[in-house]
């Protein structure tokens, strides 16, 4: 399967309805990951680093969006849904992408350029993440949640 075809691969999810308790558990746990363990901006992590299967997180976020009346909460949930694109299958143990936080800001411009050129930028992962982010936004639009 090509890297870009993964974006539209069907996700396996349970046919059983999710309980409110499970929704809360999944949303809270994923929220904790976003606060403390999300990939750096511009980077993509392996999907295995998520606390639950992506499809289950999506289902919980959609449920939470449908029942929430708080505007700020809804915006956070939508952002969290789209941020799922930052986790992809096959990335491996090390996140891929351009993590500016790893560049020594006190170094000379020449040394910073050398640091950047030695990084594994992973353009294909960034492109895949962007494509999936757009797809996830469209999913929310189709559900009337955007």
Q: What is the pLDDT of residues 112-142, one digit of tens each?
A: 777 766 665 667 888 899 899 999 999 999 9
Whether 48 has a pLDDT exceeding 70, the answer reads yes
Helix 123-142 / helix 54-67 crossing angle, nearest 10 deg:
40
- Contact by Cβ (8 Å): 37, 49: yes
> What local confidence, expressed as pLDDT, does residue 97 receive?
80
Whether 63 has a pLDDT exceeding 80, the answer reads yes
Q: How far apart are CA 109 and CA 39, in angstroms?
A: 25
Question: Where exactly are the structural domains of the chain?
Answer: 19-142
Whether 49 has a pLDDT exceeding 80, the answer reads yes
In terms of DSSP bridges, do strands 43-46 and 87-88 run parallel, antiparallel, or are they unpaired?
parallel
Binned at pLDDT 50, 70 and 90, residue 46 comes out as very high
């Amino acid at each position: 399967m090509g890297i870009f075809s993964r974006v539209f691969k069907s996700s396996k999810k349970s046919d059983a309805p999710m309980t409110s308790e499970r929704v809360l558990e999944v949303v809270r746990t994923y929220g904790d990951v976003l606060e403390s363990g999300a990939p750096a901006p511009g980077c993509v992590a392996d999907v295995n680093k998520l606390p639950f299967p992506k499809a289950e997180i999506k289902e919980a976020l959609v449920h939470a969006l449908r029942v929430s009346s708080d505007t700020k909460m809804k915006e956070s949930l939508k952002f969290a849904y789209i941020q799922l694109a930052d986790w992809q299958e096959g990335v491996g143990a090390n996140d891929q992408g351009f993590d500016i936080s790893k560049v020594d800001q006190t170094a000379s411009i020449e040394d910073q350029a050398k640091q950047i050129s030695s990084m594994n930028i992973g353009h294909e992962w960034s492109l895949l993440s962007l494509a999936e982010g757009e797809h996830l936004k469209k999913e929310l639009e189709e559900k009337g949640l955007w």
